[in-house]
Chains A and B, each alone.
Chain A
Amino acid sequence: GQNIDQPTEMTATEGAIVQINCTYQTSGFNGLFWYQQHAGEAPTFLSYNVLDGLEEKGRFSSFLSRSKGYSYLLLKELQMKDSASYLCAVMDSNYQLIWGAGTKLIIKP
């Protein structure tokens, strides 16, 4: 079966750095997505990786290793507004999106 694993919950301190990991086992690979979802709000797109390596976008970076079936989302200079759930999703060979259950990130002052 197809599976996406990510931690259920993480806690970090304002101003610090946090890394949210995502591992996947899917039938083929056509890209990996990260979305952010604040409580009671719509998920919003953060990043898309299809080749190995690091993609940087401001305070957020996303890394992909296809050979290891592994990605991480790196958040730097954490702010209170970064408290949210972070969803990892992989597009398989049939262009179906396989979703993880999300990581709830709690930022403490």
Chain B
Amino acid sequence: ETGVTQTPRHLVMGMTNKKSLKCEQHLGHNAMYWYKQSAKKPLELMFVYSLEERVENNSVPSRFSPECPNSSHLFLHLHTLQPEDSALYLCASSQETGTGNEKLFFGSGTQLSVL
């Protein structure tokens, strides 16, 4: 148990569907992250929130929409995805962001398949 919980673990959706990924952290951290992990590729940072404010958006297509209602919860809303969006989506948290020794605590991820 890393203290970061993601649901669902697996998701299959069509290109016209709308779905949401959920992440919850029980560590009292101030920063939360969404990463995309594709096979044999480096982790891609998608979004960073610090104290519920978005501090980073790495040119992610608008079909991905993050939401951070409080410092413990993070959502990723998905709509009209493409097959190339199929990947493992990882949520992470850290005590702070932008300070250096920021150990990340990851959830187990949502394996997304877009048909």
A contact residues vs B (CB 8 Å cutoff): 4, 8, 30-31, 33, 35, 40-45, 48, 50, 87, 89, 91, 95-102
Contacts and interface: CB of A to CB of B under 8 A. Distances in A.
B32 to A, nearest CB: 14
B2 A95 contact: no
A48 to B, nearest CB: 6
Which has the most chain B C-beta neighbours within 10 Å: A42, A44, A50, A100?
A42
11 contacts: A4-B42, A30-B100, A31-B101, A35-B104, A42-B2, A43-B90, A43-B104, A50-B101, A95-B98, A97-B104, A101-B42
B108 A100 contact: no
B18 interface: no
B91 to A, nearest CB: 9
Given A42-B4, A91-B100, 16 more contacts: A4-B42, A30-B100, A31-B100, A33-B103, A35-B104, A42-B106, A43-B90, A44-B2, A48-B103, A87-B43, A95-B97, A95-B98, A95-B100, A96-B45, A100-B42, A101-B40
Interface of B: 2, 4, 40-43, 45, 90, 97-109
B97 to A, nearest CB: 7
Contact of B108 (A8, A42, A96, A98): A42
A45 B41 contact: no
Contacts of A95: 97-100, 102
A44 B41 CA distance: 18
A101 B40 CA distance: 6
Contacts of B4: 42
B99 A48 contact: no
A69 B43 CA distance: 20
B109 to A, nearest CB: 7
Nearest to A4: B42
